Amino acid sequence: MKQNGSQPDLSGLANTPEATRLLRNKQALQQLLTSPESRQLLALLQREGGEHLQQAAQAALKGDGSQLSRLMDRVTSTREGAQAAQKLRSSVERQK
C-alpha cells in the first residue's frame, strides 16, 4: 500500500494478495482480529466514528466501503491512528 504523505492509502485493501491469504487462514485472521494492534485501531475508530462506525461497517458488508474508507482516512490522518495502522500492517506482513 502506498502512503499519501503521512496517511496510508487504504483503497483496495481487501483486494490485495495479503488480504486474500489472510482471509483464507482462519487461525491467522483470528490472531489478527484479537491482536493489541487491531484493538487499538478499533478503539480509535469507535472514538472517532461513534455511531457512524456501525453504519459504515454495515454498508461495507453490503459492498459499499466508501463510508468505512472515509472513517479510516479520518482516523489514520492522526498521529495515533497512523501509528496503529502501521503496526497492524506490520503484523499482517509477519503473517505471510
Structure confidence by residue, pLDDT tens digits, 32-90: 888 898 899 889 999 988 888 889 888 888 888 899 889 989 999 999 999 998 988 88
Q: Is residue 7 part of a domain?
A: no
Q: Which domain holds residue 88?
A: 13-94
Residue 1 falls inside a structural domain = no
- Residue 6 within any structural domain of the chain: no
Q: Which of 15, 12, 8, 3 is closest to 73 using CA atoms?
A: 8
Q: Which three cell numbers stand for residue 31?
A: 490472531
Whether 59 is in a domain gets the answer yes
Q: Which residue has the higher pLDDT, 23 or 40?
A: 40
CB 72 within 8 A of CB 45: yes
In terms of DSSP H, where are the helices of the chain? 17-24, 26-33, 36-49, 51-61, 66-76, 79-94
Q: Is 6 a residue whose pLDDT tops 70?
A: no
Band of pLDDT at residue 96, cut at 50, 70 and 90? low
